[in-house]
Each structure stands twice: as structure tokens, then as C-alpha cells.
């Protein structure tokens, strides 16, 4: 019940749909299925199959994985729960669930949860899929370790094994993002949903990468009542409501409160500043409410004016020209792995955006050589290059701005990139893909860097665009450590600017 009981909007939608068609065979087009499928894909290339429960969704995932790969071995984990139908029960590594129903569906291998060594040994080229929950709910609330998940993703790619994420308990906003897998910065090949999707109305879904859709030909799989119009009308409204930023921010606030903190999230619609109130008024009012402000906005000028007028610390969370909090996390990651910052060469290859500006300024302050390679016309702004050059004169570092990515990557200790179209440039996506195609960080550039180079990306990443999958998911990548360090860097920053917390 992700939205609770007696939700007026859901009651109205259900009553209205009950006056119309309840069900049509899946032979016919169903516009509600199309709408829900698009919302569940959430901008990614997933195709949806609709059913009535989580167990049915997992049965579909098991069948799809075996048929797509031509292999039968599926790895699941102790204390998992995937359902009580025959295949889902066989995937569930609990004897209490399986007792009395043997023989089970063969070729399921059960491994200890969060155990790296067993994954290395068991996940081989004979494996069709790894199926797991990112937070187990049987025998406690047990989250998956990030390093363990990273290893599974790596091994799946190496062995051409599909990754199935069971999101039946965690999906549809329950962890502060639409799906729990987003927190781990991964994209499964297949994932399954139910429970929260219908807010009490029976509905389940299996989503698979578009490339897998052709595997299920007519007659391969189906559900008589799956995706019926009553269920889809509710699912459509549930996903629409939950996938609003303000709703998910509310979930994240509750998580912070449970950890002993308190957060107030204000967007442009919920502050007078968004209605034309002078910044100085907002600054003075907020100074009486809270102990610190982090602002994500467009112009640096707004951040500077807010900081000038407020009597409490103001942190620049993100602007069009700067992303300083991310750079703190990046430098922390580099220092943890390389043991130093000064004297290293960092090559940023891609759009000369706020990340490029922040690397220029931050790197030049700590004595790091920074090279930016961008297509002509997409270089960093001149004013920030000048600041970096002045810093470099004092720190002894070197600043280079190039249009040649190969030359930029030469002898680099760190290779970094960012998405090609962001911060208002999304409409230029196709044009930028053409202009930036030679600036992808891939093996062509990686061989130019030092053998022990480090790859960073602030995420989200588009594999196959600014970086190839083998680089971002390979042994040189530290993106998950980098993502984790955003938390630790911000804690350190708050202590620095707000005193001993």
C-alpha cells in the first residue's frame, strides 16, 4: 500500500473504469498498458509484461532468462523470497518454503548473500542468470553490499549472464527512488514488480531490456487477466503519483529522520523565492529556520547573493557553471586510491560544462595537472580557465585545453567524463552525439593513459555514449566508490562549515 488506504483519486479512477471495459484479451491493443509501460521504463529501453502478482512476474523472468540465453543454471541467494508458485519457489532458497514439494525445478544454485568469494567461483559461462533482491526481507532487513553488487555486475558481463533484480518488495518508491536498483547505479537486464504497483489491486510486471523482447514469440508466455484495464487504471495513477520528485523527496526525508537527522526540501514552487520574493528576504527567513542551506539552482549569482544575505552557511549544491560538492567526492576517491592529489594528471574528456569548470578550479588548487579535451565550441568558459591558470601558477600544476582527446588522455592518471547533454542542453542530444562521437572514453583512449589509470563519472552515465561499457564497468572504474563518497564528503563539508555536529 504505497499510497495508503482510501485514496480518493484511486477510488474515483477505479469506479470510473468499472463503468467501462474491465478486461480485454491480450490479443488487442490496450492504451492503458502502453501508458503504464512507458512510465515504468522511466526513460530507459525496457519492455513490460503485465501479470497479476510478484510470483507470476518472477516466473516470467525465469522463463525469459533461460530462453534468451539457452542456458538453465540460475543463481539465487539464501534467505531470499521470490514466490510460492513452482518456479518461483524453486528460486527461493528457503527449505521451509520448499518442504513437501520436491522435486523442485532443477538447476537453481543457492549462494550466501553478500559473499564475494562464492560469486567468483559459481558465476560462470554456464549461468543463465543471477536473481536477487537488493534488500532482503526474510530474517531481517538486509541490504546488498555495494562491492558485492559491483562484482556481480562485472561477472555477469564477463560471462554473458543476465541480471534479474526482484523489486517486488523494494520497487515503486519504497527506498526513495522509483526502483532500488537506481541507488546502486546499475541497470538490470530484467526486473520484476508487484505489491506497491497496484496499491492493493492485484497487478505485477516483468520488465526486460528491449533486446530481449523478441525472445518471447506468440504463445511463449502469457496471462489471461494480466494487464487488465481495472488493474492498469490503478497502476497508471500509482506510478504517476509516486514518481513525482516531491513524493520521492518525502520518502528520503523520512529516511533521514530515522537516522537522527532532519531535512527540509524546498523547490521553486514551495518557496516565495519562486514567486519573485527578493533573495535577501528568503535568506533572512531561512536563517531563522535552519542551521544551513544547500541550494541547487541555475546561476552562481543567486548562490552568492543568498550566501551574502544569510547568517548561516550556504553550500552550492549545483549550478550551471559549478558542481563543487561532486568534486570533493571525486578528490576523496582519488586520494583513497592513489594516496595523493598533487602531481597527478587528470584528463577530463567531453563537454566543457560545470564538471569541467570544477575540475579546472579544484585541480589547480591542489596541484593536480588538469587537461580538458572538448570539441571546438564546447570548451570550458574562458573566465574559469583564467582562474585555473592563476591557481596553477601558485600550486605548480599545469592546465591544458585541447580539442584532441587522444593527446589529452596521454599518460593520464585519471580519466573523467560526464554526459554530453545536460543542464538545459538536452534538446541538443542528437546534435551532440554527432559532435562528441570521437570523445567517448573507450579502449582507444584508455591505452593512452597510464596502465593503472582510474576512471570516474559523477553519474548517471549513458553507456555507449560518453563512455563504453567495458571502461565504466571494468577494473579501472571507481564510480561506485565515488558515488558512496558523495555522502561522506558532504558530511565532512557540513562539519567544516557548520561546526562540530
Task: Quickly list DSSP for 371-427.
Answer: EEE--TT-SPPHHHHHHHHHHHHHHT--EEEES-HHHHHTT-SEEEE--SS-TT-GG
Q: Which residues, other chains included, contact 460 with Cβ-Cβ below 8 Å and sequence gap of 6+?
A: 185, 419
**Radius of gyration (C-alpha) of the chain in whole angstroms:** 25
Report the alpha-carbon distance of residue 309 to residue 278 in Å, rounded: 11
Report the alpha-carbon distance of residue 107 to residue 65 in Å, rounded: 13
Annotated catalytic residue, options 255, 296, 444, 463: 296
Annotated catalytic residue, options 322, 458, 473, 481: 458
Is 458 one of the catalytic residues?
Answer: yes
Is 322 one of the catalytic residues?
Answer: no
Annotated catalytic residue, options 418, 432, 440, 481: 418
Q: Which residues, other chains included, contact 291 with Cβ-Cβ below 8 Å and sequence gap of 6+?
A: 312, 313, 498
What the block records as the C-alpha cell of 278 is 527578493
Is 267 one of the catalytic residues?
Answer: no
Report the alpha-carbon distance of residue 345 to residue 147 in Å, rounded: 27
Helix or strand holding residue 205 (H, E): strand 204-209
Is 174 one of the catalytic residues?
Answer: no
Annotated catalytic residue, options 66, 82, 155, 323: 323
- Angle (nearest 5°) at CA 202 between 198 and 204: 75
Q: Which residues, other chains included, contact 213 with Cβ-Cβ below 8 Å and sequence gap of 6+?
A: 47
Classify 296 in phi/psi space as left (phi over 0), alpha (psi -120 to 50) or beta.
Answer: beta
Q: Omega before 413 cis (within 30°)? A: no
Annotated catalytic residue, options 33, 169, 326, 332: 326
Active-site residue list: 296, 323, 326, 418, 458, 486
Amino acid at each position: 500500500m504505497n499510497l495508503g488506504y482510501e485514496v480518493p483519486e484511486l477510488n474515483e479512477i477505479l469506479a470510473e473504469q468499472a463503468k467501462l471495459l474491465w478486461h480485454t484479451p491480450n490479443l488487442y491493443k490496450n492504451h492503458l498498458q502502453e501508458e503504464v509501460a512507458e512510465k515504468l521504463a522511466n526513460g530507459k529501453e525496457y519492455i513490460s509484461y503485465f501479470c497479476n502478482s510478484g510470483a507470476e512476474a518472477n516466473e516470467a523472468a525465469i522463463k525469459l532468462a533461460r530462453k534468451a540465453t539457452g542456458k538453465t543454471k540460475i543463481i539465487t541467494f539464501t534467505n531470499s523470497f521470490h514466490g510460492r508458485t513452482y518456479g518461483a519457489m524453486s528460486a527461493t532458497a528457503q527449505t521451509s518454503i520448499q518442504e513437501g514439494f520436491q522435486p523442485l525445478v532443477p538447476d537453481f544454485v543457492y549462494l550466501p548473500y553478500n559473499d564475494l568469494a562464492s560469486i567468483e567461483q559459481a558465476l560462470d559461462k554456464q549461468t543463465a542468470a543471477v536473481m536477487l533482491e537488493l534488500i532482503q526481507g526474510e530474517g531481517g532487513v538486509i541490504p546488498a553490499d555495494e562491492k558485492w553488487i559491483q562484482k556481480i555486475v562485472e561477472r555477469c558481463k564477463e560471462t554473458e549472464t543476465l541480471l534479474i533484480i526482484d523489486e517486488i518488495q523494494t520497487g515503486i518508491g519504497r527506498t526513495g527512488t522509483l526502483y532500488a536498483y537506481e541507488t546502486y547505479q546499475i541497470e538490470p537486464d530484467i526486473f520484476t514488480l508487484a505489491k506497491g504497483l497496484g496499491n492493493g489491486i492485484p497487478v505485477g510486471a516483468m520488465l526486460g531490456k528491449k533486446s530481449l523482447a523478441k525472445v518471447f514469440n506468440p504463445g511463449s508466455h502469457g496471462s489471461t487477466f494480466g494487464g487488465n484495464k481495472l488493474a492498469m487504471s490503478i497502476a497508471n495513477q500509482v506510478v504517476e503519483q509516486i514518481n513525482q520528485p516531491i513524493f520521492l523527496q518525502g520518502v528520503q526525508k523520512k529516511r533521514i529522520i530515522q537516522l537522527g537527522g532532519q531535512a527540509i526540501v524546498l523547490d521553486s514552487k514551495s518557496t516565495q523565492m519562486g514567486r519573485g520574493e527578493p533573495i535577501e528576504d528568503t535568506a533572512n527567513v531561512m536563517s531563522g529556520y535552519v542551521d544551513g542551506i544547500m541550494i541547487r539552482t541555475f546561476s552562481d549569482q543567486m548562490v552568492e547573493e543568498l550566501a551574502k544575505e544569510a547568517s548561516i552557511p550556504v553550500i552550492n549544491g549545483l549550478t550551471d557553471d559549478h558542481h563543487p560538492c561532486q568534486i570533493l567526492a571525486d578528490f576523496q576517491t582519488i586520494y583513497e586510491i592513489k594516496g595523493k592529489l598533487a602531481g597527478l594528471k587528470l584528463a577530463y574528456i567531453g563537454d566543457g560544462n560545470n564538471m569541467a569548470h570544477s575540475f579546472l578550479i579544484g585541480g589547480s588548487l591542489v596541484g593536480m595537472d588538469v587537461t580538458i579535451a572538448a570539441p571546438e565550441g564546447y570548451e570550458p568558459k574562458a573566465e574559469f580557465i583564467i582562474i585555473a591558470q592563476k591557481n596553477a601558477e601558485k600550486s605548480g600544476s599545469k592546465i591544458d585545453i585541447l580539442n584532441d582527446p587522444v593527446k589529452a588522455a596521454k599518460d593520464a592518471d585519471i580519466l573523467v567524463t560526464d554526459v554530453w547533454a545536460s543542464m538545459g542542453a538536452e534538446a541538443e542530444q542528437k546534435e551532440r552525439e554527432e559532435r562528441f562521437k570521437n570523445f567517448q572514453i573507450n579502449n582507444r583512449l584508455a591505452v593512452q593513459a597510464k596502465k593503472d589509470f582510474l576512471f570516474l563519472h559523477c553519474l548517471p552515465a549513458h553507456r555507449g555514449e560518453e563512455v563504453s561499457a567495458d571502461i565504466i564497468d571494468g577494473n579501472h572504474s571507481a564510480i561506485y566508490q565515488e558515488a558512496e563518497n558523495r555522502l561522506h564528503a558532504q558530511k565532512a563539508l557540513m562539519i567544516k562549515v557548520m561546526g562540530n555536529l
